[in-house]
């Protein structure tokens, strides 16, 4: 989304703080990558967070959206609802996350649906988890360590 050449209006993510966004603006910041829906492991001694390719039980692997977004906490009690306060304190948000980018005063990437106008560009650019996950259903917690990956915490090539 480019600035309007006649009015010079900038898109909301460049002019508003996270706290000042409307609900619809806030929700539209999610690019649909689903990286935050991957299970993460924390070292109890060091606090280090590592990513896995193990997807939340509610993640639709094709659309990269929650199967029951409105009621997700009932099924997944430890699901973290992103709020401005959470975004300001979470250390594990991916570097491509629009909430993190806005928090850091950076612009959205070209593939973000708010910029491209197409919700498929996040998948075409290789940002989303589509085709890169295994389901958590039936997996023992101790097996998660065999699914540690680095790519969710990295920027894609060329960006």
How do the pLDDT tens digits run along the chain, 159 residues long? Answer: 444 445 468 999 999 999 999 999 999 999 999 999 999 999 889 989 999 999 999 999 999 999 999 999 999 999 999 999 999 999 899 999 999 999 999 999 999 999 999 999 999 999 999 999 999 999 999 999 999 999 999 887 765
pLDDT of residue 156: 75
With beta carbons less than 8 A apart as the criterion, state whether 64 and 129 touch. yes
Joined together, the tokens standing for residue 10 give 């900038």
Place of tokens 């989303």: 128
Residues 6+ apart with CB under 8 A from 93: 36, 87, 99, 100
pLDDT of residue 155: 83
**DSSP of 25-41, one letter per residue?**
HHHHH--S--GGGEEEE
pLDDT of residue 8: 64
pLDDT of residue 12: 96
């Amino acid at each position: 989304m480019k600035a309007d050449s006649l009015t010079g209006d900038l898109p909301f993510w460049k002019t508003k703080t996270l706290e000042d966004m409307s609900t619809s603006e806030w929700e539209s910041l999610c690019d649909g990558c689903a990286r935050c829906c991957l299970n993460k492991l924390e070292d109890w001694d060091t606090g280090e967070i590592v990513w896995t390719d193990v997807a939340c039980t509610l993640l639709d692997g094709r659309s990269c959206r929650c199967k029951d977004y409105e009621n997700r906490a009932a099924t997944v009690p430890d699901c973290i609802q992103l709020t401005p306060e959470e975004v300001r304190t979470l250390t594990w948000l991916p570097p491509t996350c629009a909430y993190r980018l806005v928090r850091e005063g950076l612009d959205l990437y070209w593939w973000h649906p708010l910029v491209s106008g197409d919700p498929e560009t996040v998948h075409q650019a290789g940002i989303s988890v589509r085709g890169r996950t295994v389901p958590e259903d039936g997996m023992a917690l101790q097996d998660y360590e065999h699914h540690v990956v680095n790519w969710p915490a990295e920027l894609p090539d060329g960006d």
